[in-house]
Amino acid sequence: MLPSLYQLKRHPLLIRAHFKFTLVLTYAFPSEILRPLLPPGLTLDERQITGQPDIGFVAIALVETDHMRPDFLPAWAGSDFFLSGYRIFSRFQSNNGHNLRGLRILRSDTDSALMAMAGNMLTHYQYQHSKITRQRTGDRLTISVASPDGKADLELETDLAGPEELPAGSCFEDKRDALKFAGPLPFTFNYESETNSIIRVEGVREEWHPRLITANVKKATYFDQPPFASAEGGNKNLVSAFYLEGIPYYWKPGIVEKVQQKAAEIS
Q: What is the pLDDT of residue 170?
A: 93
Q: What is the pLDDT of residue 262?
A: 54
* Amino acid letter for position 19: F
Q: What is the pLDDT of residue 260?
A: 79
Q: Which helix (H) or strand (E) holds 229?
A: none
**pTM over 0.85, yes/no:** yes
- Distance between CA atoms of residues 90 and 170, nearest Å: 20
Q: What is the pLDDT of residue 256?
A: 95
pLDDT tens by residue, 187-198: 999 999 999 999
DSSP string, 172-211: -SSHHHHGGGTS--SEEEEEETTTTEEEEEEEEESS---E
Please identify every stretch of the chain with a pLDDT value under 70, giving residue numbers as ranges.
1-3, 183-184, 233-236, 261-267
Domains of the chain: 5-266 (2.40.400.10)
Q: What is the pLDDT of residue 43?
A: 97
- Distance between CA atoms of residues 54 and 46, nearest Å: 7
Are residues 257 and 94 in contact, defined by beta-carbon separation less than 8 angstroms? yes
Q: What is the pLDDT of residue 225?
A: 93
Q: What is the pLDDT of residue 208?
A: 83
- What is the chain's percent helix, strand, coil content, to nearest 5? 15, 50, 35
Q: Phi and psi of 54, rounded to 5°?
A: -60, 150
- Give me Rg for the CA atoms of the chain: 18
Q: What is the pLDDT of residue 263?
A: 46
- Distance between CA atoms of residues 172 and 167, nearest Å: 9
List Cβ neighbours of 250 (8 Å cut-off, separation of 6 or more): 14, 15, 16, 17, 71, 203, 204
